[in-house]
Amino acid sequence: MSLTSIEFLVFVIVAVVGYYIIPKRCQWMWLLLFSYIYYASAGIQYLGFILYTTLVTYGTALVIHRIDQTDEAHKKDAKQKKKGVLILALLFVFGLLGVLKYTNFIVQNIDQLFHTDFGPFHLLLPIGLSFYTFQSAGYILDVYWNRCEPEKNVFRFALFVSFFPQILQGPIGRFDRLTKTLYAEHEFDWQRIERGVQRIIWGFFKKMLIADTAAVFVDAIFNQYQTYNGIAILGVLAYSAQLYADFSGGVDVVIGVAELFGVEMDENFKRPYFAVSITDFWHRWHITLGTWMKDYVFYPVSLSGWMGKFGKFAKKKFGKTYGRALPICVANLIVFLVVGIWHGAAWKFIVYGIYNGVIIAFSGLMTKNYREWKKKLHINDKSTGWHIFQIIRTFLLVNISWYFDRADTIPQALTMMKNSVTYFEPAQILNIQFGQMNLKYTPVFIA
């Protein structure tokens, strides 16, 4: 059920009307019912997967909490047991994601490397798998670190995992924030309904008018990149607009629909194309994924024992400045390798992630040098001109990454990048044959 379909609008209207008619104590149950109806509409066979993730993370959180209640005399043993339970649960949860999403990618590479013929396997890929897996994993990690209490009611927890507006493309919710309004009782409020409807309409405008219009041009160029080699740069610029309008527009719809029920969700975009660095871009683009990676990957890696040893080694070998920066750089590289893998099962996405990670890591290493260069060149980094330069520079770097995100293969991305700087023939626009498009592209963020 697409977010912009008539069926979805009717579904939401029925859900909202019923939500404010039934007794308030039953509102969260109503949302759970409609969330599972929505999920089942994509295929009854997918329900088993979301139930599996729900039950594993629900049970794990309770076990971890129970271990935490161990008396002081057994705290050391309890800590090891608690860690073991966490690791096992994460293996079960991410193992399902890995098997369903990446098995064929691994098999394909094995076949190419060893000239075998094992695949592909016909595996189901449930909608929203990446999103509810990350959200559920974040929950058990929060319980493990005592950031929140575990939910005792399995049905209430099931609503947290499956809340239907966000299941397709996020935002990735945090249990302590989302459930404050998700489980609450809500009075009908015209102002809240008005805000939600306005947000939904704005999302429709971005998705249906901007993104869908840009997609026609983007598909024509990327699907026939050898024919329209002189306007490759226009294709990636159009894709930049398409991707932002489609993704942020979808999130606008999601947040607007949640608002109709009185549920507050985290913002996921904050004017990303006005970022002044790649780091700043990831603070503005898919914000909930970035904060998830920071809290659950970056900090655990950078504060781990092995990273501490690496930091001591780096200080001895390269001095204090680089010794402090290198562990952070390595942690960032790991984070963006994971980001690339999360985006999709293809080498182009891994390159996409590494590209972002390398830029951020290199910028961290060169921070001191940048300050010195700006001082020598008498650059006022507080000036409007410098700010504009940073925005343009970042926008160009981001668009380079979009070649890998949109192209079918790495060679295609590199060819189009080369054409963008060596060959420009805008007159090719007049000859585009839109009827020859192969509309097979699906944004990776819905998986």
CB atoms within 10 A of CB 19: 20
Please say whether the dihedral angle defined by the alpha carbons of residues 111, 117, 118 and 120, taken in this order, is positive or negative. Answer: positive
Residue 414, H or E segment? helix 410-422
Structure token pair of residue 367: 């921070």
Task: Tell me how far apart the alpha carbons of residues 26 and 4 are, in angstroms, rounded to a whole number.
Answer: 28
Among 41, 22, 26, 11, residue whose Cα is nearest residue 126:
41
Which residues partner with 285 through β-bridges?
A: 269
Task: Tell me how far apart the alpha carbons of residues 131 and 276 are, in angstroms, rounded to a whole number.
Answer: 28
Task: Tell me how far apart the alpha carbons of residues 342 and 339 are, in angstroms, rounded to a whole number.
Answer: 5
Burial class (CB in 10 A: 0-12, 13-18, 19+), 121: exposed
Please say whether the dihedral angle defined by the alpha carbons of residues 134, 137, 139 and 145, taken in this order, is positive or negative. Answer: negative
Burial class (CB in 10 A: 0-12, 13-18, 19+), 48: exposed
Task: Tell me how far apart the alpha carbons of residues 421 and 300 are, in angstroms, rounded to a whole number.
Answer: 41
The active-site residue out of 186, 343, 378, 387 is 343
Identify the DSSP state of 270.
Answer: S
Task: Tell me how far apart the alpha carbons of residues 221 and 238 are, in angstroms, rounded to a whole number.
Answer: 10
Structure token pair of residue 166: 């966000």
Task: For residue 283, indicate whether it is catalytic.
Answer: no
CB atoms within 10 A of CB 265: 24
Task: Tell me how far apart the alpha carbons of residues 426 and 228 are, in angstroms, rounded to a whole number.
Answer: 10
Alpha helices in 205-286 (DSSP H): 212-223, 232-260, 278-284
Structure token pair of residue 13: 């209207």
Please say whether the dihedral angle defined by the alpha carbons of residues 338, 149, 61 and 31, taken in this order, is positive or negative. Answer: negative
Task: Tell me how far apart the alpha carbons of residues 329 and 357 are, in angstroms, rounded to a whole number.
Answer: 8
Is 61:82 a contact under the CB 8 Å cutoff?
Answer: no
Is 6:138 a contact under the CB 8 Å cutoff?
Answer: no
Task: Tell me how far apart the alpha carbons of residues 259 and 252 are, in angstroms, rounded to a whole number.
Answer: 10
Supply the residues annotated as catalytic: 343
